[in-house]
């Protein structure tokens, strides 16, 4: 195998992230793929746009500006409640906070769900950087290996992102670069 064949397409990091996942059928995969591919799950706060919009309107006063800020706070509180509590749709999902090995092409973590290679999974990852977007993607199980502690029920499972929105993938890749920079900065500081 040549050196070029061994190169990965994306950087890979280890982190501890909240993930939600559930197995889906091939038919459900086909139904969800366009919805996920063309709809970004990015949470965006456009507080500066609210400010400029209110400033341009004739007669826009402090109450209008305050109302805009309250809308932003309300969205943030809704997001925090969703992260901390399980939503009604999360009942069908396995929700875990676990160590992951993640890149722009896939994710690997210790999974206790009985899966087989080739199974399709709907996966949601919460990126722990403000505004905490929840990225939804469709994955396929690539491989399953015995876990590090030789636990019978849990296997180290690798998932390949089959369908992910481009903007969401960019958010994920930017987060990976951010974590890699932090790691390199800490490494440099400890060596000094």
Residue 55 reports pLDDT greater than 60 = no
Q: State the first-to-last Cα distance of the chain, in angstroms, to the nearest integer.
A: 37
For residue 35 the two structure tokens come to: 């919805």
User: What pLDDT band is residue 5 in, cutting at 50, 70 and 90?
Assistant: very low
Q: How confident is the model at residue 152 (pLDDT cuts 50, 70, 90)?
A: low
Most confident of 44-48, 68-72, 183-187: 183-187
Other CB atoms closer than 10 Å to residue 192's CB: what's the count? Answer: 5
Please state the rounded mean pLDDT for residues 12-18.
Answer: 91
pLDDT per position as a tens digit, 108-131: 999 888 899 999 999 999 888 877
- What domains can be seen in the chain, in order of their start residue? 12-43+92-191 (2.40.10.220)
- Is 76 within 8 Å of 45 (Cβ atoms)? yes
Say yes or no to pLDDT of 86 above 80.
no
How sure is the predictor about 83, in pLDDT bands with cuts at 50, 70 and 90?
low
- Give the whole-angstrom CA distance, residue 39 versus residue 19: 19
Name the token pair of 53.
């919009």
């Amino acid at each position: 195998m040549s050196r070029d064949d061994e190169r990965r397409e994306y950087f890979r990091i280890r982190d501890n992230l909240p993930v939600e996942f559930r197995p889906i059928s091939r038919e459900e995969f086909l139904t969800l793929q366009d919805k996920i591919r063309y709809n970004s799950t990015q949470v965006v706060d456009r507080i500066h746009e609210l400010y400029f919009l209110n400033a341009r309107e004739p007669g826009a006063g402090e109450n209008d500006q305050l109302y805009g800020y309250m809308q932003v706070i309300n969205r943030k509180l809704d997001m925090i409640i969703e992260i901390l509590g399980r939503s009604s749709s999360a009942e069908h999902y396995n929700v875990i906070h676990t160590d992951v090995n993640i890149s722009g092409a896939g994710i690997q973590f210790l999974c206790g769900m009985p899966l087989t290679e080739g199974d399709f999974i709907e996966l949601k990852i919460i990126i722990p950087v403000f505004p905490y977007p929840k990225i939804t993607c469709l994955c396929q199980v690539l491989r399953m290996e015995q876990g590090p502690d030789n636990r019978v029920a849990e296997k180290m499972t690798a998932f390949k992102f089959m369908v992910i929105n481009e903007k969401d993938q960019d958010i994920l890749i930017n987060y990976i670069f951010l974590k890699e920079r932090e790691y390199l900065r800490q490494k440099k500081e400890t060596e000094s």
